[in-house]
Amino acid sequence: MRLDSLLVVASLILVAVPGQGTPMYAARSARTCDNCHVGPNKWENPPVAERKCNMSCQSCHIDPAGGGVRNASGRFFGQSTLPMIATSPRPTDDWDQNAPLVGRRDRATSYDDNLPVGPNTFTAALEDFDALAAAMDDRWTWGTPRGEPNRYGLLQGRYERLNADPMLRVGADVRFAALGSLYFPMQIDVPVVLHPTHHLTVLVNTGARGRPSGFSDTYDQDHSFYFREAFAMVHEAPYQAYAKVGRFVPSFGLKLDDHTSHIRRAFELDGALPESRVMGVEVGAMPNYPFLNASWFRMAARNRVPASWDISDVDDGWGSAINAGWRDLSWSVGGSAMFRRRDIDEGGDTSTYSLYGVLNPWRNRRNLPVTYQAEYDFGTFQRSSGARTNQAAFYQELNWVAYNSIILLLAHDWADPDDEITDDDDHRVQLGLQVSPIAGVTVDGRLRVLLPALGQAGKDIFIQLHLYH
Amino acid sequence: MSMLKRMRWGVLLSILAACASGDRTLNEADPGIVAQRPAYAQVEPIFQADCVPCHSGTDERAEYDRLFDEARAGRRLATMVAIANDDPGLESCQSIVNNLEDVVEEIFDKNSMPPGAWPRLTSKERLTIERWIDRGASCD
């Protein structure tokens, strides 16, 4: 009887999730131009200072440091390239990757006059602005910012009928998970992006973190809902330079959305936790193809949950981070450094360094649809006794895109949380399958095996459902 | 060829990472990091965070029904599953003491909890619980 009740409730709460390392998307997006926008017949490369196509997070996300609500380019990629059933023109290279019978068949790169054609230049976009604006059909955005369009923002008409430069954008992101007998909501995000005038954007993302103990624990407890991001940003500048002020997670290493990975959790960069949020200033620039993000911030004590809505509740110490490298069309390399300074009883000092890279041989070999990424982090921290010691973590992931929207994944991460202590390290291996049947829906299933240095190995099956717009 | 060379870096880093390891226990390296006689108040947050999300059942029938109804009303599925499976509860000090043999086996002998591929307890958490048990597992 009890189990019947459980099954009924469980069936009502179909669970889920995504979990794709988004830098993998970025690496794969460079296969062809029409992954990210409608291709014109005669594209003229603008000067480097005006280029938006830089293989960096800002190419798809409104936050230049990556993650969260997507811009028109990211949304177009999500419609045209990711899903099994396309609702936008399909990239030419993926013409034979459609699901049979359903979905759009037109190609993003136009080969005849009947297909969508974006403007060739900024000047052309300006000349056709009214016509392009009238052709927009975008239910998740409203208006256009005050002032004349500028050459450093996204151009109308390059993303089919999506509004490339809206004044207001509202998104949604929901993740559910099933882990063995546990069913729980992992995360809910409602980002609102206000772009009242060119060069200025305010992003406020209200979110809730899930808890495996269930719905009531997730949404009834303090700190369940909070500002995950809240910042004002000056941007749309030469070389895609920007500066933002407010609450965010420092830019460091790969922007994985697997928040359980050692390379994020062990260094207070767990994107699911409010404890990872800091308040500060971040500046950066991303011409094609070098990139740089640098931040200075205040933060809460380690493991102290800062106030949900008061983003200034971060007076327990300060830190700084820098993340720089080169993101090319089929590979990228980067390095990061982060320093946190706090009293011992607030978490102590940490100095962390990172080396990482992504490789996408698929761009050059069509019969080799694999992508690989890896990151190695190391540094020092203080135990609660004040003693200084070293820690390290490593993550690597290999994807094989068997078909559009069907991705086989092999991931491995490892950590030694204290190099002086024996038997505290572990390895974790994941074998997964990710499927995106339609835009905005991804199902991610993984067999995860933990191999601790001490004791028994453990395994589980983790299934996620990710719904987003 | 150059691509293969690049991929070798990943493999090399994996091997280097796997080689690192210390040779002392936390008790030997930093004995002052945990109180010599931890109170239950220092142990409780560890059990609450890592154990209670699943181990919130009970052996008493009336209490079983009450807890299950509460969990169902709150749609706390993990708790409902735990109760249905009759897992030992670890919500109170007394319940931990009642199940101390299982706790020692799972945490120290097997190092198998939290289960599956969830990260195991940290060295500091294990040392805290170990000292609390060694000093009599007092609920005071």
Please name the residues between 107 and 126 in chain B that touch chain A, using a CB distance below 8 Å.
Answer: 109-112, 115-120, 122-124
The residues near B31 (Cβ < 8 Å, ≥ 6 apart) are: none
pLDDT at A112 over 50: no
Q: Quick one: pLDDT at residue B60?
A: 57
pLDDT at A245 over 90: yes
CA distance B14 to chain A (A): 7
Chain A residues with beta carbon closer than 8 angstroms to that of B72: 5, 9
pLDDT at A210 over 80: no
CA distance A11 to chain B (A): 11
A455 close to B (CB below 8 A) = yes
Question: What pTM value is reported for the model?
Answer: 0.86
The rounded radius of gyration (Å) of the Cα atoms in chain A is 22
Q: Quick one: pLDDT at residue A115?
A: 45
Q: Quick one: pLDDT at residue A214?
A: 52
In this prediction the ipTM stands at 0.77
Q: Identify the band that residue A113 occupies on the pLDDT scale cut at 50, 70 and 90.
A: very low
Q: Identify the band that residue B63 occupies on the pLDDT scale cut at 50, 70 and 90.
A: low
Residue A426: closest CA among chain B residues belongs to which residue? B119
Q: Quick one: pLDDT at residue A19?
A: 38
Q: Identify the band that residue A147 occupies on the pLDDT scale cut at 50, 70 and 90.
A: confident
pLDDT at A331 over 70: yes
Q: Quick one: pLDDT at residue A98?
A: 65
**What is chain A's mean pLDDT, rounded?**
85
pLDDT at A302 over 80: yes
For B14-18, B51-55, B95-99, which range has the lowest pLDDT when averaged over its residues? B14-18
pLDDT at A464 over 60: yes
Exposure string of A435-467, with b = 16+ CB inside 10 Å and e = fewer, is ebebbbbbbbbbebbbbbeebeebebebbbbbb
Q: Is B63 helix (H, G, I), strand (E, B) or coil?
A: helix
A236 close to B (CB below 8 A) = no
For A56-60, A264-268, A444-448, B68-72, which range has the lowest pLDDT when averaged over its residues? B68-72
From residue A58, alpha-carbon distances to A121, A288, A292 in Å are 20, 11, 12
Instruction: Name which residue leads in pLDDT, B85 or A280.
Output: A280
| First-to-last C-alpha distance (Å) of chain B | 67
Q: Quick one: pLDDT at residue B121?
A: 92
The residues near A410 (Cβ < 8 Å, ≥ 6 apart) are: A397, A398, A429, A430, A431, A432
pLDDT at A241 over 80: yes
Question: A2-12 and B61-73 helices cross at what angle (nearest 10)?
Answer: 20
pLDDT at A5 over 80: no
* Pairing mode of beta strands A318-327, A350-359: unpaired
Percent share of chain A, pLDDT over 70? 86
pLDDT at B8 over 70: no
- In contact, A138 and A70? CB cutoff 8 Å: no
Q: Quick one: pLDDT at residue A169?
A: 95
Q: Identify the band that residue B13 occupies on the pLDDT scale cut at 50, 70 and 90.
A: low
C-alpha span between A24 and A96 (Å, rounded): 22
The values of phi and psi at residue A403, to 5°, are -165, 160
DSSP letter at A454 equals S
pLDDT at B88 over 70: no
For A42-51, A123-132, A272-281, B73-82, which range has the lowest pLDDT when averaged over its residues? B73-82
Instruction: Name which residue leads in pLDDT, A218 or B140.
Output: B140
Q: Identify the band that residue A3 occupies on the pLDDT scale cut at 50, 70 and 90.
A: very low
- In contact, A360 and A87? CB cutoff 8 Å: no
Q: Dump pLDDT digits (tens) for B23-53.
A: 899 999 999 999 999 999 999 989 888 888 7
Q: Identify the band that residue B12 occupies on the pLDDT scale cut at 50, 70 and 90.
A: low
Quick one: average pLDDT of A126-137? 81
Cis peptide upstream of residue A289 (ω within 30 degrees of 0): yes
Q: Dump pLDDT digits (tens) for A344-392.
A: 999 999 999 999 999 999 988 888 999 999 999 999 999 999 999 999 9
Quick one: average pLDDT of A308-321? 93
A7 close to B (CB below 8 A) = no
B40 close to A (CB below 8 A) = no
Chain B residues with beta carbon closer than 8 angstroms to that of A459: 116-117
Chain A residues with beta carbon closer than 8 angstroms to that of B75: 9, 13, 214-216
Q: Quick one: pLDDT at residue B11?
A: 55
- CB neighbourhood size of A150 (10 A): 14
Chain A residues with beta carbon closer than 8 angstroms to that of B70: none
Q: Identify the band that residue B2 occupies on the pLDDT scale cut at 50, 70 and 90.
A: low
From residue B99, alpha-carbon distances to A168, A187, B62, B112 in Å are 56, 34, 19, 16
Quick one: average pLDDT of A174-189? 79
pLDDT at B1 over 50: no
Quick one: average pLDDT of A57-65? 93
Q: Quick one: pLDDT at residue A18?
A: 33
Q: Quick one: pLDDT at residue A409?
A: 95
| First-to-last C-alpha distance (Å) of chain A | 39
